[in-house]
Amino acid sequence: MTAAAPKASRSWARAIGEIATAFLIVMAGKAALAEPFYVPSASMEPTLLIGDALLASKYPYGYGTASLPVNVTVPTSIRLFGKLPARGNVVVFRWPGDTSQAWVKRVVALPGDRVQMREGQLWLNGQAVPTRASGFGDAQNEDGGFTPAARYTEELPGGHSHIIFKLRTHGALDNTDEIVVPPDMLFVMGDNRDNSADSRVSVADGGVGLLPVENLIGRVDTVLGSWDIAARKKPIWEWPTGLRLSRMFSSVQ
C-alpha cells in the first residue's frame, strides 16, 4: 500500500505541470498572436455593435508592454518590430487615462497629419475627407434602446472607406481647432461620431486625446460573435434569441 504514494505524487505533479504548460501556451498566444475583447459601448457603431466579441491581431504593429495579456506599467516601452497603423485601421489600445482599460477606435490621422473637424466633416492636411450620404440606420444605446441615425460613407486618404453614424446635425464635437499630430502619436475617432469620447476629447475630460503609439494592443480584423443586449429584457430562456449569427466570424472594415 505504501508503495503507491510516490506514484500518486508523480501523477499529481504531472497534472499540475500539464495545466501550467497549457496556461503558458495560451498566455503566449494571447501575447504574440491575438487576443479577444468585448465591445461594451456604442462608440464604434455601425461598424462594431454593443455585444460584439472581437479578435485583435497583435503582430501588425509590433510588440510592447501594451501587447501583454496583463496590464504592466513601466516608465518606457520599447516596441519590437514596431509599425504604424494605416489610416482606417480599427485598433484596440490601452486608454491613456487608465491602462487597465482596453478601448477600440478607428485611426484617422498619423504623425505629421494636420487634422480638424469642420461642421461635422473630417479634414486632413487641408482637404475635406470625402463623405456621401448612405441612408439611415438605428444606433443602439447602452440600455438596449435605439436612436435614429444618419449614415454616411467616409473615404480616408489611401482609399479606405467605412460607414459612420451622425445622430444630430450640430454635434458638440463637430468643430475643433486644427492640430498637427506629434511624432509617435495617433488621432483616433469612433464611427458613431456624436457618441464617442475619442481624440477630440482630452483624457482629463474622459476622452482619448492624442493616442501614444506605444499604447496599441492590436488591429481588429474579425468579429468572433455577437449578442444583442436588448435580449436582457426578455425572460432568461429567450436570451439565446439575442445571438447575432450573421456577425459570427465577420470581417471588420
* pLDDT number for residue 5: 54
Q: What is the pLDDT of residues 128-181, one digit of tens each?
A: 999 999 999 999 988 888 999 999 999 999 999 999 999 999 999 999 999 999
Residue with cell 435580449: 231
CA angle 125, 130, 135 (to 5 degrees): 150
Q: d(Cα 174, Cα 168) in Å, to the nearest integer?
A: 10
Least confident piece of the model among 21-30, 64-73, 188-197: 21-30
Active-site position among 58, 67, 105, 199: 105
Query: What element of type H or E holds 149?
Result: strand 146-155
Model confidence band, residue 109 (pLDDT cutoffs 50, 70, 90): very high
Whole-number pLDDT of residue 79: 76
Q: How far separated are the first and last CA of the chain, in Å rounded? A: 65
Nearest to 94 by CA among 107, 85, 105: 105
The string of DSSP letters for 35-60 reads EEEE--SSTTTTTS-TTEEEEEESGG
Rounded Cα gap, residues 104 and 28, in angstroms: 22
58 catalytic, yes or no? no
7 a catalytic residue? no
Distance between CA atoms of 93 and 65, rounded to whole angstroms? Answer: 11
Cell numbers that stand for 136 in this block: 439611415
| Among 9, 11, 30, 43, the one annotated catalytic | 43
Q: Which three cell numbers stand for residue 3?
A: 508503495
- Measured CA to CA, the distance from residue 87 to residue 156 in angstroms comes to 7
CA distances (Å), origin 104, targets 45, 88, 113, 199, 243: 11, 13, 21, 12, 22
170-197: average pLDDT:
96
